[in-house]
Amino acid sequence: MAEHPCINDFDKCRNLDEVIRYSPLAEEGRLQCLVAADGLRFGPAEYPSFMEGKRFGEYISYSDKVWHMGIIVLAQREAMIPNGYGGKERRTMLCQYDMFARKVTALQVK
């Protein structure tokens, strides 16, 4: 069986699902998002159990229109985010990763 063409060049992927599934850059982006989330203002996020899936394992469908430009948006739902009062809030984080620059370009807590 031949290797998927997406593995070596994300431009050869047919859609965002293939980018996420086959491109090592998507996995690199997921890991970079975890590092970025460790630098939140009031401390690092806490994540749901691994039983609920990979951390930053979801992608946002509107990024399906921009992945050709090297941008993917990964999501982490139900993260416990420290607040300024010593407590934590259950929130969603959106992480924008640039596969050309190979860096997180935005991390948003909703």
pLDDT digit string, tens, across residues 6-60: 898 998 999 999 999 999 999 999 999 999 999 999 999 999 987 788 899 998 8
Long-range contacts of 13-20 (CB under 8 A, 24+ apart): 13/67, 15/64, 16/59, 16/61, 16/63, 16/64, 16/67, 16/72, 19/67, 19/72, 20/59, 20/72
Cβ–Cβ under 8 Å, residues 25 and 12: no
Residue 65's pLDDT is 77
Residue 78: strand, helix, or coil: strand
| Ranges of each domain in the chain | 5-109
